[in-house]
A and B are shown apart, each in its own frame.
Chain A
Amino acid sequence: MILSKKFISDYTNINKIDFKEFADKMLKLGNEYESMGPLINANKLVIGEVVSCKNHPESDHLHICKVNIGTEELNIICGAPNVREGIKVIVALDGAVLPGGTIKKTNILGMESNGMICSIAELGIEHKYLKEEDINGIHELPLDSPIGEDAIKYLELDDEIIDFELTANRADLLSMLGLAYESAVITGEKVNLPDLTYEHIDKNINDLLTLKVDTDNCFTFLLKRVNNIKIEESPLFMKNRLMACGIRSINNVVDISNYVMLETGQPLHFYDADKLGKVISVRTAKDGETLVTLDNQSRILTSEDIIITNGKEPIGLAGVMGGLDTEIDENTKNVVIECAIFNPANIRKTSKKLIRSEASIRYEKGLDVNRCYMAVERSCNLLSKFAHGEVLDGRIEYNTLDRNEKVINITLDKINSVLGYNLTDTDVKTVFEKLNFEVEVKNHKFRVVVPTRRTDISIEEDLIEEVSRVYGVDNINSTLPVFESTPSIYNNRDRVIRNEMISLGLNEVITYSLIKVDDVFKFTNDEFGLIKVLDPLSEDRVVLRHSLITSLLDVYNYNKSRNIKDLSIFEIGRGFSSINGEYIEENKLACLLTGNYMEGLDKEYYDFYTVKGIVEELLDYLGYKNRYSFVLGELPEEMHPTKTVYINVSGKIVGLMGEVHPKICKDEVYVVEINLDTLFENKTGRMKYKEFSKFPGISKDVAFILSKEVTNDQVISTIRQAGGKLLSKVEVFDYYEGDKIDTDKKSIAYNLYFESNDKTLSDDDVNPLFDKIIENVVKKHTAILRDK
Chain B
Amino acid sequence: MKEKLEQIKVDAEEEIKNVKDENALNNVKSKYMGKKSAFNEIMASMGSLSPEEKREVGSKSNEVRSFLQELFENKLTEIKNEELNKKLESDKIDITLPSKKRKSGTKHPLNIVREEIEDLFISMGYDVVDGPEIDTDANCFELLNLPPSHPARDAQDSFYITEEMLLRPHTSAMQVRSMLANTEKKPFKLICPGKTYRRDDDDATHSHQFSQVEGLVVGEDISLSDLKGTLELFAKKMFGKDREIRFRASYFPFTEPSYEVDVSCFNCNKKGCSMCKGTGWIEILGCGMVHPTVLENCGFDHTKYQGFAFGVGIERVTMLKYGITNLKLLYQNDYRFLKNFDRKEM
Enumerate chain A interface residues (CB-CB to B < 8 A): 27-30, 32, 167-170, 344-345, 348-349, 364-365, 417-421, 456, 459, 461-462, 464-465, 468-469, 473-474, 476-483, 485-491, 495, 498, 501-514, 531-537, 541, 544, 555, 558-559, 562, 564, 567-570, 573-574, 576, 583, 585, 597-602, 604
Asked whether A168 lies within 8 Å of B335 as measured between CB atoms, the reply is: no
The yes or no answer to B331 lying at the interface (CB within 8 A) is yes
Asked whether A510 lies within 8 Å of B248 as measured between CB atoms, the reply is: no
Asked whether A597 lies within 8 Å of B102 as measured between CB atoms, the reply is: yes
Answer whether A483 and B187 are a contact pair too, CB < 8 Å, given A461-B257, A534-B160, A583-B165.
Answer: yes
Asked whether B259 lies within 8 Å of A473 as measured between CB atoms, the reply is: yes
> Nearest chain A CB to B46's CB is how many angstroms away?
53
Answer whether A512 and B331 are a contact pair too, CB < 8 Å, given A489-B128, A601-B100.
Answer: yes
8 CB contacts below 8 A, A to B, read A28-B249, A464-B289, A469-B249, A483-B219, A504-B105, A514-B208, A536-B159, A570-B105
Answer whether A421 and B249 are a contact pair too, CB < 8 Å, given A349-B149, A513-B133, A598-B102.
Answer: no
A562 to B333: give the CA distance in the assembly, Å: 12
Q: Which of A349, A508, A573, A600 contacts B107 (CB 8 A)?
A: A508
> Nearest chain A CB to B149's CB is how many angstroms away?
3
Answer whether A464 and B257 are a contact pair too, CB < 8 Å, given A345-B149, A491-B128, A534-B161.
Answer: yes
A81 to B169: give the CA distance in the assembly, Å: 58
Asked whether B98 lies within 8 Å of A479 as measured between CB atoms, the reply is: no
Which residue in chain A gives the minimum CB-CB distance to B194? Answer: A574
Asked whether B151 lies within 8 Å of A461 as measured between CB atoms, the reply is: no
B100 / chain A contacts, CB cutoff of 8 Å = 598-602
Asked whether A29 lies within 8 Å of B249 as measured between CB atoms, the reply is: yes
Answer whether A599 and B101 are a contact pair too, CB < 8 Å, given A469-B257, A473-B224.
Answer: yes
> Nearest chain A CB to B309's CB is how many angstroms away?
12
A365 / chain B contacts, CB cutoff of 8 Å = 151
> Nearest chain A CB to B150's CB is how many angstroms away?
8
> Nearest chain A CB to B253's CB is how many angstroms away?
8
The yes or no answer to B154 lying at the interface (CB within 8 A) is yes
The yes or no answer to B270 lying at the interface (CB within 8 A) is no
Which residue in chain A gives the minimum CB-CB distance to B308? Answer: A481
Asked whether B101 lies within 8 Å of A583 as measured between CB atoms, the reply is: no
B221 / chain A contacts, CB cutoff of 8 Å = 417, 420
Other A-B pairs, 11, CB within 8 Å; known A30-B248, A168-B251: A169-B253, A170-B251, A469-B249, A473-B228, A478-B232, A508-B338, A510-B331, A513-B133, A514-B197, A567-B335, A585-B132
A558 / chain B contacts, CB cutoff of 8 Å = 332-334
A476 to B111: give the CA distance in the assembly, Å: 34
Asked whether A479 lies within 8 Å of B229 as measured between CB atoms, the reply is: yes
Asked whether A468 lies within 8 Å of B257 as measured between CB atoms, the reply is: yes
Which of A344, A420, A600 has most chain B Cβ within 10 Å? A420
Asked whether A481 lies within 8 Å of B105 as measured between CB atoms, the reply is: no
A474 / chain B contacts, CB cutoff of 8 Å = 246-247
The yes or no answer to B226 lying at the interface (CB within 8 A) is yes
Asked whether B161 lies within 8 Å of A532 as measured between CB atoms, the reply is: yes
Asked whether B149 lies within 8 Å of A344 as measured between CB atoms, the reply is: yes
> Nearest chain B CB to A342's CB is how many angstroms away?
12
The yes or no answer to B199 lying at the interface (CB within 8 A) is yes
Contact residues, B240-254 vs A (CB, 8 A): 246-251, 253
> Nearest chain B CB to A144's CB is how many angstroms away?
43
A47 to B238: give the CA distance in the assembly, Å: 57
A420 to B307: give the CA distance in the assembly, Å: 12
Say which one of B62-70, B82-90, B118-126 lies at the interface with A.
B118-126
The yes or no answer to B127 lying at the interface (CB within 8 A) is yes
A585 / chain B contacts, CB cutoff of 8 Å = 132-134
Asked whether A345 lies within 8 Å of B226 as measured between CB atoms, the reply is: no
Q: Mark B144-182, 1 if CB is under 8 A from A, else 0.
A: 000011111011000111100101000000000000000
B9 / chain A contacts, CB cutoff of 8 Å = none
Answer whether A507 and B105 are a contact pair too, CB < 8 Å, given A461-B257, A465-B258, A490-B127.
Answer: yes
Which residue in chain A gives the minimum CB-CB distance to B188? Answer: A483
Asked whether B248 lies within 8 Å of A32 as measured between CB atoms, the reply is: yes
Q: Which of B122, B250, B332 contacts A490 (CB 8 A)?
A: B122
Answer whether A478 and B306 are a contact pair too, CB < 8 Å, given A417-B223, A537-B201, A598-B101.
Answer: no
Answer whether A505 and B149 are a contact pair too, CB < 8 Å, given A419-B225, A469-B257, A583-B132.
Answer: no
Asked whether A531 lies within 8 Å of B134 as measured between CB atoms, the reply is: yes
Asked whether A541 lies within 8 Å of B208 as measured between CB atoms, the reply is: yes
Q: Which of B103, B161, B189, B257 contacts A531 (CB 8 A)?
A: B161
Asked whether A480 lies within 8 Å of B229 as measured between CB atoms, the reply is: yes
B106 / chain A contacts, CB cutoff of 8 Å = 502, 507-508
Per the CB 8 Å criterion, the residue count for chain B at the interface is: 87
Asked whether B105 lies within 8 Å of A513 as measured between CB atoms, the reply is: no
A170 / chain B contacts, CB cutoff of 8 Å = 251
Which of A420, A481, A495, A573 has most chain B Cβ within 10 Å? A481
A464 / chain B contacts, CB cutoff of 8 Å = 256-257, 289
B155 / chain A contacts, CB cutoff of 8 Å = 168
Asked whether A601 lies within 8 Å of B98 as measured between CB atoms, the reply is: yes
A459 / chain B contacts, CB cutoff of 8 Å = 256, 292
Asked whether A505 lies within 8 Å of B104 as measured between CB atoms, the reply is: yes
A361 to B291: give the CA distance in the assembly, Å: 25
B161 / chain A contacts, CB cutoff of 8 Å = 531-534, 583
A491 to B128: give the CA distance in the assembly, Å: 8
The yes or no answer to B195 lying at the interface (CB within 8 A) is yes
Which residue in chain A gives the minimum CB-CB distance to B163? Answer: A534
Which residue in chain A gives the minimum CB-CB distance to B233? Answer: A480
Which residue in chain A gives the minimum CB-CB distance to B97? Answer: A601
Asked whether B224 lies within 8 Å of A502 as measured between CB atoms, the reply is: no
Asked whether A461 lies within 8 Å of B111 as measured between CB atoms, the reply is: no
Asked whether B209 lies within 8 Å of A512 as measured between CB atoms, the reply is: yes
Q: Which of B132, B209, B225, B332 contacts A477 (CB 8 A)?
A: B225
The yes or no answer to B230 lying at the interface (CB within 8 A) is yes
A634 to B151: give the CA distance in the assembly, Å: 52
The yes or no answer to B336 lying at the interface (CB within 8 A) is yes
Q: Which of A420, A498, A503 contacts B224 (CB 8 A)?
A: A420
Asked whether A483 lies within 8 Å of B250 as measured between CB atoms, the reply is: no
Answer whether A495 and B333 are a contact pair too, CB < 8 Å, given A478-B225, A505-B104, A508-B338.
Answer: no
B208 / chain A contacts, CB cutoff of 8 Å = 512, 514, 537, 541
Which of A167, A456, A498 has most chain B Cβ within 10 Å? A167
Answer whether A420 and B102 are a contact pair too, CB < 8 Å, given A32-B248, A489-B127.
Answer: no
Asked whether A509 lies within 8 Å of B101 as measured between CB atoms, the reply is: no
B132 / chain A contacts, CB cutoff of 8 Å = 583, 585
Asked whether B224 lies within 8 Å of A564 as measured between CB atoms, the reply is: no
> Nearest chain B CB to A456's CB is how many angstroms away?
8
Answer whether A462 and B248 are a contact pair too, CB < 8 Å, given A479-B223, A537-B201, A562-B334.
Answer: no
The yes or no answer to B339 lying at the interface (CB within 8 A) is yes
A574 to B132: give the CA distance in the assembly, Å: 10
Answer whether A481 and B222 are a contact pair too, CB < 8 Å, given A468-B249, A501-B105, A534-B161.
Answer: yes
The yes or no answer to B31 lying at the interface (CB within 8 A) is no
B134 / chain A contacts, CB cutoff of 8 Å = 531, 544, 576, 583, 585
Q: Mark B17-52, 1 if CB is under 8 A from A, else 0.
A: 000000000000000000000000000000000000
B201 / chain A contacts, CB cutoff of 8 Å = 537
Q: Which of A465, A487, A513 contacts B195 (CB 8 A)?
A: A513
A168 / chain B contacts, CB cutoff of 8 Å = 150-152, 154-155, 251
Asked whether A488 lies within 8 Å of B149 as measured between CB atoms, the reply is: no
B12 / chain A contacts, CB cutoff of 8 Å = none
Q: Which of B102, B226, B249, B260 contacts A465 (CB 8 A)?
A: B249
> Nearest chain B CB to A156's CB is how many angstroms away?
30
Which residue in chain A gives the minimum CB-CB distance to B261? Answer: A473
A506 to B130: give the CA distance in the assembly, Å: 25
Which residue in chain A gives the minimum CB-CB distance to B106? Answer: A507
> Nearest chain B CB to A188's CB is how many angstroms away?
19
Contact residues, B330-346 vs A (CB, 8 A): 330-336, 338-339
Which of B103, B208, B224 has most chain A Cβ within 10 Å? B224
The yes or no answer to B11 lying at the interface (CB within 8 A) is no
The yes or no answer to B183 lying at the interface (CB within 8 A) is no
Q: Which of A420, A532, A576, A601 contacts B226 (CB 8 A)?
A: A420
